Amino acid sequence: MSHYSDAELEALLADTESDQVERKRAWTGNAPSKGREAVCAFANDLPDHGTPGVLIVGANDDGSPSHTPIDDQLLQTLSDIKTDGKIVPPPTLTVQKRLLKGADRAVVTVWPADSPPVRYDGRIWIRLGPRRDLATAQDERILNEKRRCRDQPFDARPCGSATWKDLDLAWYRETYLPMAVAPEVLEANERSLEEQLASTRMILSPAEPTPTHLGVLTLCDHGRDFLPCAYVQFLKLAGTSLADEPVDAEEFEGRLVDVIRLVEEKLMSHNRTTVDFKSGANERRTQLYPLVALQQLFRNAMLYRTYEHTQAPIRVYWYADRLEIFSPGGPVGIVTAETFGLPGYTDYRNPNLAGFLRETGFAQRFGAGIASARRECSRNGNPLPEFKISNLAIAVTLRPAEEMIEEP
């Protein structure tokens, strides 16, 4: 990925008819919403430029400087566009402070998405010359076709042995679509079921309705028939090693949302809470493991695991002195062993799955799971999570709150 030069950005600033630039005087009022619409449209790249679009803050409509202060807070706020979960799949973008025509500007550079269509708050935005607009059914068909012609992430590729009959279409229509697509778009009812499935990346296209891996993982209750590693293995042991007696053991498979709910119910059933009435005026509750930390770390494992070249499930092993979550697949993209868990370093092995988890309420912000888990462990009196990172897998260990001792 390469950024535009100063000369190229200045040319875009001056070109009031360009469909590759959006100008904002400041990041106030309705600018954050309109700016996200522009980012969504640039990611969709309906004209098929194949080059980035830019959102420039600090520019009047004619490109002249508005002299809005470009400080760290503004740059951080603009960076949140990528991770706040309002645009799915998460867009590929960078944020820079650039000196253009003698004035500082904030420049958000947005690359075309590998898996269009991209939605902002359930709506697909596109560029029509210098303005934004909502995609029509025909626009969606074009975006779907563009996706088929590109090198796709694993979750957007076809799951060759599956057919659309393997998908739970009733759940898709009645539960998922209202969460993923804006109400007025659904009410317009201009799209066939096949077109809706393709637009949400559950099948390749209406003409070729082979389910994608995303479709199998999220809509198939027997996905393990097609992806043998698509399950979670839970084991609770009486002692501190695998040689000790099992207390509880279960395997979970099926639609992703069902697996997440069932595993988290299992974790809650084994998690103890103590109540301290004596240390202060108010009672103090302490969990063996903070629920939010368990949820964030387990959901991270579900999102970031690999399904390729492995038969390994996600493993959740609960020992008397610790809890371990093992996820197949090492760091991906810009995330390395050195940058793992650091603010600002987020990438996606399965970006469409990330979007699905956001739409169904299992992820609120992208890239915030580890920070949330660390915060909750500190609040609850637990040691911070311990990560072991290799090129093949990531394992995290949680230890009990310091004032609690696990009992089998």
Can you spell out the DSSP letters for 210-236? PBBHHHHHHH-TTGGGTSTT--EEEEE
- Domain CATH code at residue 128: 3.30.950.30
Q: Which long-range contacts (CB under 8 A, 24 or more apart) does 401-407 make?
A: 401/286, 401/287, 401/288, 401/289, 403/274, 403/286, 404/272, 404/274, 404/286, 404/288, 406/288, 406/319, 406/320, 406/321, 407/272, 407/320
245 and 112 within one domain: no
- Do 183 and 278 have their domain in common? no
Residues 311, 289 share a domain: yes
What pLDDT, on the 0 to 100 scale, is given for residue 67? Answer: 95
Per-residue CA distances from 134 to 25, 122, 282 (Å): 23, 11, 53
Residue 208 parent element (H or E) = none
Q: How far is CA 139 from CA 119, 234, 350, in A?
A: 13, 45, 24
Asked whether residue 159 is domain-assigned, the answer is yes
Provide the pLDDT for residue 275: 60
Task: Identify whether residues 183 and 238 lie together within a single domain.
Answer: no
Nearest to 13 by CA among 57, 49, 76: 57
- Which residues are paired to 248 by β-bridges? 236
What is the CA angle 226-232-238, rounded to 5? 150
- Same domain for 111 and 37: yes
Helix and strand element counts for the chain (H, E): 13, 16
Q: State the 10-residue block means of pLDDT for the chain, 408 residues long.
A: 92 95 97 98 95 97 96 96 92 96 97 93 94 92 79 89 95 96 87 93 93 98 97 98 97 98 97 66 75 97 95 98 97 88 85 94 85 95 97 96 61
In this structure, the answer to whether residues 308 and 168 fall within a common structural domain is no
CATH number of the domain that 283 lies in? 3.30.565.60
- In eight-state DSSP terms, residue 166 is G
Please give the residue range of the domain that contains residue 173. 152-219
* Number of domains forming the structure of the chain: 3
Residue 381 falls inside a structural domain: yes
Residue-level pLDDT at 321: 97
Domain boundary among 219, 243, 258: 219
Is residue 145 domain-resident? no
Same-domain status, 252 and 109? no
The CA distances from residue 298 to 243, 254, 363, in Å, are: 24, 16, 12
pLDDT at 408: 46
Q: Quote the CA–CA distance of 393 and 303 in Å, as a whole number.
A: 13
Residue 392, pLDDT score: 94
